[in-house]
Amino acid sequence: MKKFLYTLLLCICVSSIFAETAEKLVQKGIQKGKKGKVEDAMACFNKAIEVDSTYPEAYFNRGYAKNMLDDNKGSIADFTKAIQYDSTYSNAYFNRALAYAEDKDNRAAIKDFTTVIKLDSGMNAEAYYFRGVSRYFLVQLDSAIADFDSALVVDSAYAEAYYNKALVKTRMGGTDNIKEALSLYGKAIGINPYDADFYNNRGQVRYVLKDYKGAVGDYNRALALAPDMARTYCNRGNAFFYMNDKIGACENWTTAVDMGFTLAQKMLDIYCQAPK
């Protein structure tokens, strides 16, 4: 009996040493990953799994590394393994959901984001936000808005949630929705005044509302932040056109085409008599 107990205790101790070694290997891999040595990090995670094939952190971090190496299927498989050994691993569900979304499997992504929300007691703003994005791509527009609203309840300074809710409202159409989108873009800009897309999209809403001067102002701000946004030159050209500034319109459309935005070529052909 004593011999049996001694053997049992020895096994427990050895298992503990293995788990500790796996943990150290994972930490070593994480540090290598932070230095951009992703392949070296992968080697550490592989060794950790060899030491303890049931250690969820090793699979999770290897899955994260695989995602960085554009191995999306491999990352999903590793996140699934992490979940297999720890069914309450919120980060593994979250990252698997992101991988599913990247793979355009939005239904699977929604399922995982929903699990994250439950595991985190409804306090994970990012899970609501990304679930809303997946629902947007599935044209579940009302549900997407509900998710963006939930994200904002958890984090009222979540600029991207305002921005994406504005996208949904714009897609829904109708004057009331468009006007609400304008307000939502304003809130996003108030939180983060350095995102060119925020200004470009608010400019588009103002353009739809026939506030061409206001639209040009937003396009100017967008281009000040990101001078390489070809589509914004096209948009600004459209606004100038409706402000009866043909020269300004043609200059902007020309710039857009020169930058590779070929959709502006049609406007040049029709209104500026530019060669194809």
Please tell me the predicted confidence (pLDDT) of residue 241.
98
Whether 162 and 187 have beta carbons less than 8 Å apart is answered as yes
- Per-residue pLDDT, 21: 86
Mean pLDDT of the chain: 92
pLDDT of residue 276: 47
With 80 as the cut, is the pLDDT of residue 187 above it?
A: yes
Q: What is the mean pLDDT of residues 138-153?
A: 98
Q: What is the pTM of this model?
A: 0.88
Residue type, position 199, single letter = Y
Instruction: Look at residue 25 and tell me whether its pLDDT is greater than 50.
Output: yes
Tokens of 135: 């629902």
Reported as a pLDDT band with limits 50, 70 and 90, residue 273 is confident
Please report which confidence band the pLDDT of residue 20 belongs to, taking 50, 70 and 90 as the band edges: low
Least-confidence region, from 24-33, 197-206, 228-237:
24-33
Give the start-to-end residue ranges of the domains of the chain. Answer: 17-86
CA 151 – CA 129 distance, rounded (Å): 6
pLDDT single digits (tens) 156-165: 999 999 999 9
Quick one: pLDDT band at residue 116, thresholds 50, 70, 90?
A: very high
Residues 120, 101: Cα–Cα separation, whole Å: 20
CA dihedral sign of residues 75, 77, 82, 83: positive
Give domain 17-86's CATH architecture. Alpha Horseshoe (1.25)
**Tell me, what's the pLDDT at 257?**
97
Give the model's confidence band at 227: pLDDT under 50 very low, under 70 low, under 90 confident, else very high.
very high
CA Rg, the chain, in Å?
26
pLDDT given for residue 1 in this prediction: 36
Q: What is the mean pLDDT of residues 197-207?
A: 98
pLDDT band for 168, please (50, 70, 90 cuts): very high
Q: How far apart are CA 148 and CA 80, in angstroms?
A: 27
> In the chain, what percentage of residues exceed pLDDT 70?
92
Question: In 10 A of CB 35, how many CB atoms?
Answer: 9
Q: Kindly provide the b/e burial profile for residues 160-195, where b requires at least 16 CB atoms within 10 angstroms of the residue's own CB.
A: bbbbbbbbbbbeeeeeeebebbbebbebbbebeeeb
The mean pLDDT of 39-51, rounded to a whole number, is 94
